[in-house]
Structures are given as C-alpha cells and as structure tokens.
Amino acid sequence: MITKDIKFAKEILLNDDLVAIPTETVYGLAGNAFSEIAIKKIFHLKQRPFYNPLIVHLKSASSVFEIAAEIPDSAKKLMEEFWPGPLTLVLKKQDHISDLITAGKSTVAVRVPSHPMTLALLNELDFPLTAPSANPFGSISPTNATHVHDYFGNKIDAILDGGQCEKGLESTIIGFEGNQPILYRLGAISTEEIEAKIGKLVFHRNNNTSPNAPGMLSRHYAPKTSTYLSNNVAEYIKQFEGKKIGVLVFKEPIQNDNLIIQEVLSTSGNFMEAAKNLYAAMHRLDQHHLDLIVIEELPNTDLGKTINDKLVRATKKE
C-alpha cells in the first residue's frame, strides 16, 4: 500500500520485510542491511541476479565508519561536498557486511540519501537500509510511488510516498584504486562537478558477464516497447509510416500529425529539468501500446552525458 506513515514502515522493516522508499534520485526497494532474510527478499522480488551488489543507505556520513574499513582522502572530500546527496562511494568493506550485499566483493557501496522522509525513517532505525532501485531487474527506474505500485502492487507491504524524485537519475558511483577515483556509473552528479573537487576521473571499463556496476550492463533501464535512439527524430520516424509511434525529445517538439504521443523533457533545454522528467516520460510512453518509441539523443555534456548513457542502454542497437 502507498502510505506516508514512517512508523508503519519501521514496523515492517523490523520484521525483516521490505518497504519502498523515496530518495532524491529514484525510489528504492529497502530492507534491513544487517538482515540476510531481508536482503534475500530484495533479490527475490526484484528478480535480480546475485552477482549484482546493492547500495547501503546511511542516515549520516559518520555512520560510514560502521560499514567501511578504509576511506581514501578523495572519498572524504566527496562525502563532505555531496552527502547527503546522489553520490555512491564504493569502499573497502568491514567483515560483518553480508556477502549478499556486496556480491562477494571486498568492497561495499554506500550513500547518504537526501530525501527528508527517508532520512526521517533512517533516524528511527538502528540499522542502515540496503536498497536497489524499486523496479524489476533491467526495467525503467521508478520516480514516483505509483511507478513502484505499478511494478509490484501489494507484493511490497508499504510504499512510502515522498512525491516525485527531485533528481530523477540514479546516484553517480565512484570507487577508488588507492586514492585514484574511478567512475563506475554516470549519475545525477555530473563528472564535471566531481572532477572540480578531486581531479580527473578514470572511467571504469567492465564487461557484461562480470559487471562491477551492472547499472552499466548494456541493456538496462529498458521500456517494454521497442525503443530507438536518434539524433534526428523527425527524419528517423519517416521510415515507420503507418506505425503507432511515440517520441521523446529534449526541448523542441517535432511537427508530425501522425504521432500518438510526444513527450518534451525541458522546453528551456535545462538538463536538470530533463533528468527529473525522463523516467516518468518513458513510463508514460511505455503505457501507450505503441509499435515503437523514438528518443532524441541529448547534447553530450553535463547531465546530458548521464541521460544519453541511460538512453543507450534503454534502446535497441541497430
């Protein structure tokens, strides 16, 4: 059920059951990070493979000392700058952190979310919450409570309704080799903002069979409808005459009377606004029983880079 009752959510969590939580990025499917029963329920409900590790959500930066064994100086700088907020750090883990959370790795992903409802919930608990995005594995992330309900219905005892997610893109994930920061996943904080604080990032390369950050799997964030990416949508759709087409564009609507639906992310061309609207627009398009969806590539700077990265994974390769 969809609720705003934090005490109710707490009772469910104390019982090793799951609660969907709002964060500033996307909604999470949360359980007690110290309960293997709860962690297993997350993997089961999400149909997530066990090789894909989870993020631990903390109530404050100081709690990181209960989870991580080592904190490089550049990680400390990032925590000071960006927590609470949409930044996940991959750090050496302490022994007591479950191998289920970390997929057997020696590192654990942590962040302090900034949504007031989830912070209030975390402050009621004496354990952190582990939570992947609250969508079935591989599908579009949820950015409001209804998205979560559409996916899971009453299989989740409580969906905490914190409104529409402020950022609308997942957290940026940074790990370290020594003090060298490594970018594992593009996200709601741009690489430009992070590099301004700690210098050049190295982009982590991985492969699909043993991904270090499966947000980087080549197919992810995907609508059920066949979806294509193009840098010239008006031209591209001409080849699909007679089909039921929906389009998603950055700022300029295209002129075509045959479109079933057109979503514009930000008429002023603002990346943050576009990010906030992106997944909800994709959810709406996916509900229209279209033959295909065509999405416009964004300019490849700033959050445009993150959005394009998600779009490439959401769409078909030609």
Q: CB 189: neighbour CB atoms within 10 A? A: 24
Please tell me the count of residues contacting ligand TXA according to CB under 6 A. Answer: 30
Pairing of strands 19-21, 28-32: antiparallel
Q: What share of the chain is helix, strand, coil (3-state, %, to 5)?
A: 35, 20, 45
Q: Supply the minimum distance, in Å, between the C-beta of residue 110 and ligand TXA.
A: 9
Q: Supply the minimum distance, in Å, between the C-beta of residue 205 and ligand TXA.
A: 13
Between 6 and 147, name the residue whose CB sits nearer to Mg ion. 147
For 179, counting Cβ atoms within 10 Å of its Cβ (0-12 exposed, 13-18 middle, 19+ buried), the class is: exposed
128 binds, among Mg ion, ligand TXA, none (CB under 5 to 8 A by kind): none
Are the beta carbons of 215 and 90 closer than 8 angstroms? no
Q: Supply the minimum distance, in Å, between the C-beta of residue 313 and ligand TXA.
A: 11
Within residues 97-136, the interface with ligand TXA by CB under 6 A covers 102, 105, 107-109, 113, 131-133
Q: Tell me which stretch binds Mg ion (CB under 5 A): 94-102, 126-134, 203-211, 246-254.
A: 126-134
Q: Is 88 in the site for ligand TXA (CB under 6 A)?
A: yes
Task: Identify the residue among 214, 223, 246, 304 touching ligand TXA (CB under 6 A).
Answer: 214
Q: Supply the minimum distance, in Å, between the C-beta of residue 286 and ligand TXA.
A: 18
Task: Identify the residue among 6, 18, 19, 55 touching ligand TXA (CB under 6 A).
Answer: 55
β-bridge mates for residue 117, sequence order: none
Alpha-carbon distance values, 74 to 139, 178, 185, 218 (Å): 33, 10, 17, 29
Between 166 and 296, name the residue whose CB sits nearer to Mg ion. 166
Residue with tokens 């959050």: 303
Q: Is 147 in the site for ligand TXA (CB under 6 A)?
A: no
54 binds, among Mg ion, ligand TXA, none (CB under 5 to 8 A by kind): ligand TXA
Q: Supply the minimum distance, in Å, between the C-beta of residue 137 and Mg ion.
A: 8
Are the beta carbons of 241 and 308 closer than 8 angstroms? no
Q: Is 28 in the site for ligand TXA (CB under 6 A)?
A: yes
Task: Identify the residue among 98, 133, 139, 315 touching Mg ion (CB under 5 A).
Answer: 133
Are the beta carbons of 129 and 58 closer than 8 angstroms? no
Quote the longest CA-to-CA distance of the chain. 60
DSSP H helices in 96-156: 99-102, 116-124, 145-152
Q: Supply the minimum distance, in Å, between the C-beta of residue 93 and ligand TXA.
A: 8
Coil, strand or helix at 315: coil
Q: Supply the minimum distance, in Å, between the C-beta of residue 214 and Mg ion.
A: 8
- The CA distance from 271 to 188, in Å, is 10
Q: Supply the minimum distance, in Å, between the C-beta of residue 215 and Mg ion.
A: 6
- The CA distance from 28 to 110, in Å, is 14
- The CA distance from 44 to 36, in Å, is 12
Q: Is 315 in the site for ligand TXA (CB under 6 A)?
A: no
Between 89 and 293, name the residue whose CB sits nearer to ligand TXA. 89
- The CA distance from 106 to 279, in Å, is 32
Question: Which helix (H) or strand (E) is 24 found in, with range?
Answer: none
Q: Is 170 in the site for ligand TXA (CB under 6 A)?
A: yes
Which parts of this chain interact with ligand TXA (CB under 6 A)?
23, 25-26, 28, 52-55, 86, 88, 90, 102, 105, 107-109, 113, 131-133, 170-171, 173, 175, 184-185, 212-215
Which parts of this chain interact with Mg ion (CB under 5 A)?
133
